[in-house]
Amino acid sequence: MSDALRIEVTSPTPLLELRGISKEFPGVKALDDVSFAVYPGEVHMLLGENGAGKSSLMKVLCGAYRADAGEFYYKGETVAIESAADAQKLGIAVIFQEFSLVPHLDIAQNIFLGREPKGRIPGTIDRRKILADAKRVLDTIGFDIDPSTTVDKLGVAQQQMVEIAKAISQNARILVMDEPTAALSDRETELLFALIGRLKADGVSIVYISHRMAEVFALGDRITVLRDGRRIDGVKPADVTPEQLVRMMVGRNVDMTYPRNFADKPGEVLLEVKGLSASTGISDINIEVRRGEIVGLCGLVGSGRSEVARAIFGADPVTSGEIIFDGKVISGEPDLAARRGIALIPESRKSEGLALLRSVSDNLVVSALKKLFPSGLFDQRSAQRTADGLIRQLRIATPSARQTVGLLSGGNQQKVVIGKWLAAGSKLFIFDEPTRGIDIGAKSEIFALIDRLVAEGAAALMISSEQVEICHVCDRAYVMREGRIAGHLTRNELTEENIVRLGMHHA
Amino acid sequence: MTDITKGAIAPPRSFLSQDAIQLFYRLLAALLICAVLAVLSDSFLSLGNILNVLRQASLTFFIASGLTLVVLTAGLDLSVGANVALSACLAGTVIHTTGSPVLGILTGLASGGIVGLVNGIMVTALRIPSFIATYGMLWVLNGLTYWYMAGETLHGFPAGFRQIGSGYLFGLPIPVYLLLVFLGIGTFFAQRTVWGQEIYAIGANPVAARLSGIPVARRLLLVYAVSGTMAGLASIIFLSRLNSAEADIGESLTLPAIAAVLIGGTSLFGGVGTVFGTFIGALILTLVLNGMNLLAVSANWQPLVTGVIVILAVWLDMKTRRRAQ
């Protein structure tokens, strides 16, 4: 861990202080008497499970929500944050997980959107000045790129840098970052951490929301833990252990090692992929998955892991190679793959896994309609019974099967996505980042579920950027690099170091 | 194992589904309009007028019921009116040349269905947005019909055939029986079949539907083909009722059908709505127009009133839905 980043906080008055903030929505107390202080030049970690109130607090900070009660102090003086403009005036900027950049404009235009330097002819932009200004801002954060590049050509990490540059150009003194490393590779994460170090040195404060324990201890100067809308504690990293933090977040003891009962001998081969290539950029993929196994598929973001999953499932067209499932060569659209017993639990469960406005019941039976109703006649009551069974079996926290699925927490939504394939009786489960955005308690439940599935004779192929999870849970793993399989690691070889070594670019 | 009890934010949810509540409000609105008209006009409650309203509503409903399925998948079929015109002209020609109403009816249904199928192929295989594909189809069909008819009018059909649109059975117009039959079939198909459920799932999130193993392209083909076939059916009833066919009979049909779907509570964003709602939508639309006629309000006001009702209905839906979320 980098101690060099950690400086002692000496300034006695906080830059920004919130006292007794409450915010209520119909039926939910999102924030309940929360106090929170940010000191100049510190990285303040904000921890909590999904639904703990982190996002609400963040939205209050940036003026998107108006607090029902509470006070704000800026350098000791009372201020009001009632709108986005108020927040911006105080130098508060938020980098959301979903970026707010305009893809077809270039970097410079995005940084100065709405504040473009005017050209001589009214209604035009002074191109030379905007590019020079952008270059200057990009230099201050150490991002070496041509400011006339359009944003849609940039990767996630580079877009994030543009967001940061935009905030800096608005003289942001408090930068709120919502899980900034969620979509970054290890290398990109290192670059981000270095930048955060430089920003700190300039006196910029950072409020950092994270689900990753390692980051909390590597970066944080101070930690605030939220649970059920209340502030549980404020601590310094040196004074706590990860286990203590987890207990504060969930309010009980959670086993941080994931449960897995490794089988002595894996079963027969269920999936065999031979020389698979697809137009999405993967080539010559060879993979084998046996019954009773959880096989990892690792590599950097963008190395082609999801593309392999989609090609096996029939979601993207295959250009060459063979997929042999349960002894038969298969091809075709996802409906055929699903009928044969392959399940895909996609990475973005909101946009690809669920119909958010439909009920839990509707979502749970959607893949099993043919199996549950072979006559083609649908019966709502029977569907509801199946859904109720799955809700009990998976312990999905929902008031009823008729609840709108979009109102459930991330972990429970993920259980619904898995549940629909249980209903369908799938044999091979392909998980793409199954724990992304899910809190720690739900994570270990999901791993326990996967373990039970494979113990009962199913097989799992699991994509994850969380190498710790791969190492804990998988029987073995393939590592991808630039669209190809770069190596295979057996249970004994499966370490974070080996995954990183195989996945790194050797340029 | 750990225990997860938190997570679900649980707004109180009534035992009635959102769909049922919305249908209830619509029925209430239809009854309210009836009550107002009964007070304002002596002739509204006469049997003849009520049957007339039902017959009118049934014509809109046939087109709108198929359209409802398309809209449930977040699509739109703008070619239905033009489809009715072409199908009516083809069916009319076949009856004239062969003298067989049965062949004519089959021609009308087939022509409507084929046009729908072509729409479906454009939307699925060619991936053209349905709005644009069917808008183009509207022009193509109009062009074909005008070329084929060359300004002529077909009229004078066998008496038996004319019974379909103008005849009575046990005191009720035959189109009203057809309306009840297709209302039943449509509702059964949407609510009680696997295909119906899949159509709702596609409309709610097409990407998730595909990745959940639903054959999205095949279901869309079906939906557009059904919409076209229902336009074909409507063409037969028009032909029989008007006892004539011209190239321009479809021009005033598409927009009222869309209005009935929207007033009936089906969302243009897909996944929400019912065939029964569309029936009530068609009924409300017809009642209002009928009432304006009875009260001697100039027909020039009708488009304006229709527009206001559509906007009002959709706005109220969005408001109640937002509150439910």
Residues A130, A46: Cα–Cα separation, whole Å: 35
Residues A404, A203: Cα–Cα separation, whole Å: 45
Q: Label residue A272 left, alpha or beta by phi (over 0 means left) and psi (-120 to 50 means alpha).
A: beta
Residue B36 lies in a domain: no
Band (B2; pLDDT cuts 50, 70, 90): very low
Give contacts of B193 with chain A, Cβ < 8 Å. Answer: 376-378
Q: Is A280 exposed, middle or buried (0-12, 13-18, 19+ CB in 10 A)?
A: middle
Same topology for domains A1-91+173-255 and A269-503, yes or no?
yes
Between chains, do B213 and A403 touch, taking CB under 8 Å as contact? no
CATH fold of A1-91+173-255 reads Rossmann fold (3.40.50)
Give contacts of B5 with chain A, Cβ < 8 Å. Answer: 397
Residues A265, A263: Cα–Cα separation, whole Å: 5
Residue B30 lies in a domain: no
Tokens of B115: 């046009």
- pLDDT for residue A154: 85
User: What pairing do the DSSP bridges indicate for beta strands A222-227 and A43-47?
Assistant: parallel
As a whole number, mean pLDDT of residues A172-192 equals 85
Q: What does the domain layout of chain A look like in residue ranges?
A: 1-91+173-255, 97-172, 269-503
As a whole number, mean pLDDT of residues B20-25 equals 84
State the CATH number of the domain containing residue B234. Answer: 1.10.3470
Q: What is the DSSP letter of A395?
A: T
Between chains, do B9 and A28 touch, taking CB under 8 Å as contact? yes
**Is B11 within 8 Å of chain A by CB?**
yes
**Considering only A227-231, A392-396, B128-132, B270-274, which range has the smallest mean pLDDT?**
A227-231
Band (A254; pLDDT cuts 50, 70, 90): low
Residue B4 lies in a domain: no
pLDDT in tens, B29-39: 999 999 999 99
SS3 A342: strand
Give contacts of B205 with chain A, Cβ < 8 Å. Answer: 351, 354-356
Kindly state the helix (H) or strand (E) to which residue B183 belongs, with its residue range: helix B174-192
Residue B18 lies in a domain: no
Domain that includes residue B301, residue range: 50-324
Residues B206, B198: Cα–Cα separation, whole Å: 10
Residue B3 has pLDDT above 60, yes or no: no
Interacting residues of A440 by C-beta distance below 8 A, sequence separation 6+: A49, A211, A246, A249, A250, A254, A256
**Is B146 within 8 Å of chain A by CB?**
no
Residue A6 has pLDDT above 50, yes or no: no
Asked whether B86 and B140 are in contact (CB, 8 A), the reply is no
pLDDT in tens, A131-156: 999 999 998 888 888 999 999 888 88
Distance from CA of B45 to the nearest CA of A (A): 39
Q: Is the dihedral of CA B223, B226, B268, B21 positive or negative?
A: negative
Residue B25 has pLDDT above 90, yes or no: no
Residue percentage of chain A with pLDDT more than 90: 49
Nearest CA in chain B to A395: B4
Residue B8 has pLDDT above 70, yes or no: no
Distance from CA of A439 to the nearest CA of B (A): 10
Residue A466 has pLDDT above 90, yes or no: no
Interacting residues of A13 by C-beta distance below 8 A, sequence separation 6+: A75, A76
**Is B127 within 8 Å of chain A by CB?**
no
Residue B26 lies in a domain: no
As a whole number, mean pLDDT of residues B279-305 equals 90
- Among the listed residues A29, A30, A31, the one whose alpha carbon sits nearest the alpha carbon of residue A18: A31
**Looking at this protein, which amino acid is placed at residue A504?**
M
Distance from CA of B192 to the nearest CA of A (A): 5
pLDDT in tens, B131-153: 999 999 999 999 999 999 998 89
User: How many domains does one find in chain B?
Assistant: 1
Asked whether A75 and A15 are in contact (CB, 8 A), the reply is yes
Candidates A346, A358, A376; nearest CB to B193: A376
Interacting residues of B53 by C-beta distance below 8 A, sequence separation 6+: B283, B286, B287, B290
Candidates A26, A378, A445; nearest CB to B193: A378
Give this complex's ipTM.
0.86
In chain B, beta strands by DSSP E: 154-155, 168-169, 172-173, 244-245
Residue B10 lies in a domain: no
Return mean pLDDT, chain A: 88
Q: Any bridge partners for residue A459, and if so which?
A: A428
Residues A411, A439: Cα–Cα separation, whole Å: 7
Residue B143 lies in a domain: yes
Residue of A366, A396, A408 to mutate for B, most B C-beta atoms under 10 A: A366
pLDDT in tens, A401-442: 988 898 888 888 999 999 999 999 999 999 999 988 787 778
Q: Which CATH number applies to A269-503: 2.60.40.10, 1.10.3720.10, 3.40.50.720, 3.40.50.300? A: 3.40.50.300
- pLDDT for residue A319: 94
- Among the listed residues A480, A495, A500, the one whose alpha carbon sits nearest the alpha carbon of residue A432: A480
